[in-house]
Structure formats: C-alpha cells, structure tokens
Structure 1
C-alpha cells in the first residue's frame, strides 16, 4: 500500500522535510517502503508516506543501465520487490536481501535458457575497505548487481528497515 504512493506522480520531498537516518533511528522509526532511483543515484526510506532518510551517490552493478535479466550481467534489478532477509555476516558490511528474482524474472531467463541470478542485496562496503570519513565508499559502480552505500549509511538502513519492507527500484 505504501508503495502505491511512490509509483505515482508524487512531489519530491525537499531536503528540509527529510529528518535523516540518524534522527529516524534515534526516534525509533521503522521504514515501510524503499524507493531506489538508479538514474538519480538515490535510496529513500519512507515511513507513513514521508521520506525519513535519503542516501545519495549509491553504487550499483558494474553495468547499471537496464534491468537485471541474467546471472553475470552486472545489472541492478528494476521493479517491485521485498526485503526478504538480513545478513550480518556478508562479504560486505551488513546486507539486506532483495527478493530478486521474482516469477517474471525467472520466466524471462528460463525463456532464454539462462539463469536469472540472485543474491541481490543492499549492503555497505566490502569488508576490509577502509572505514573512515575520507574514504567512505568505493567511488564507482562495483557490485554484481547489488546496491551499495557507505558503512555508516548501512548501519542506519539496517536499523530502520525490517524484513518484509517493500522496495521499488526505478531505472
């Protein structure tokens, strides 16, 4: 239901209307929807129809334009999914699983005799990457299709986003 508002012609929230991840965590808020805009490089967390946190400069798959179709295509999926798992022990700093592939994705890949791939996450930087303010994130698209943010941002997202949260990923 919350995502229905995100798919329409909604007026973008101004920066002054967004409380921010740290404040949202301090207030004990929980996101009920996520909107990722690949072309704008933003990840917005929503609670009750309002943006509570915006993360900019997100990194995507090595080949970010277009919808993920097959394993190894280095693309980040586009469409409607759900956060379906949490992994505190991933190869990157924390990770939230995205329910890719859905039935449509599997059918398309099968029609072409290929695997759709899987294991798409929102996560922090690779474990071992320097974690300091001067070097907060790898500055280019480097994932195999995941959405990457800085470790500090991932700490906030981890606290704000429960399993079951809907996510829309726009081109």
Structure 2
C-alpha cells in the first residue's frame, strides 16, 4: 500500500512539474536558414531557403532611422551578421546575440573617434516593459514579445545568418 501511495505521489509531482510552463521550448520543424530584419516595416522574418516560416512585428532602437554608427546612438545596426550567442538569463526574458560589430562597423566608429558599441540582441520585453511604451525603445536591439522570443530562441541556431535591412 505504501508503495502504491508513493508511486501515486511521484506521478502527481511529475504531472505538476510538466505543467510549469518553461520558457525553453523545443522545435522540430524546418531549419531556419536565415533571418531577415526589415527595419522600415518593423518586421523580422525567419526563413527556410526562399520561404518565410514565421514573421514577427518588432521594436528597434529608440532612434530607428539609419545605421548604427557609435555606442549609445540608439540605432539598430544594418548589415549582414551571424547569430553568435545566447543569454538564457537575459533581463529581457531570453535573448540571442548578433555578431555586431564587424570590422566595417569598427572602422566607421573609429573614424568618428568613438566605440561602435556591442551587445546587440534579439530579445523579449522582460518584466520591466510597460504596456503603452513606445514601439522603438531599445538601445539598438530588436525586441519581440516574451512568447515570441521563446519561439525564436528554440527555432534559431547559433551560426544562423541575419541580414538587417533599412
């Protein structure tokens, strides 16, 4: 009888733990082969070859027009990069890193006498985001909802190319 009670309790614990709602999802669909960010349309596309698998509305840096030139300018970079890191403990829920700055970005900033900055990510909103905040609110990152970054985090692998267009 004790054994059956312990087994029942174990089954209950496993069932409840499975309903915990982890922010880490799994994905077994087609591979994401490229990300396109269309800044003017405020859209992020996850591509499989020539086909869009998913599209997301995005927020950009607080000064969204133009290419990022220097640290602190509030712009989102434009160009071709790679997804190069992940932050499962991001203060913006989850985040995946973009390989900005590249050598061209560094040379542009140095010619102006400044640092190009760094730490450009695709990330969620996190707990400090307030409803009604401006659409473009980051320091140069690409923002989606927390639910959307969970999906993107699962679908996109490190090394995936990302093209950020004006």
Q: Same fold (TM over 0.5)?
A: yes
- The structure 1 segments of at least 4 consecutive aligned residues displaced by more than 6 Å after TM superposition are none
Indicate the SS of the match to 2:40.
coil
User: How many residue pairs are counted as aligned between the two chains?
Assistant: 141
Q: 1:110 to 1:150 in 2, by over 3 A?
A: same
Residue 141 of structure 1, aligned match among 119, 122, 136: 136
- Residues 63-142 of structure 1 aligned to structure 2 (within 5 Å): 63-129=63-129, 138-142=133-137
- What corresponds to 2:38 in structure 1? 37
Q: 1:139 to 1:27 in 2, by over 3 A?
A: farther
Q: 1:139 to 1:109 in 2, by over 3 A?
A: closer
How big is the alpha-carbon RMSD for the aligned residues of Structure 1 and Structure 2? 1.7
Asked if structure 2 preserves the Cα contact closer than 8 Å seen for 1:125 and 1:138, the reply is no
Structure index of larger Rg: 2
Indicate the SS of the match to 2:37.
strand
Q: 1:94 to 1:138 in 2, by over 3 A?
A: farther
Q: 1:98 to 1:35 in 2, by over 3 A?
A: same
Post-superposition CA distance 1:55-82 (Å, at most 9, x none): 12x1000000000000000000001011
The question of 1:153 aligning with 2:137 is answered no
- What corresponds to 1:49 in structure 2? 50
Asked if structure 1 preserves the Cα contact closer than 8 Å seen for 2:27 and 2:154, the reply is no
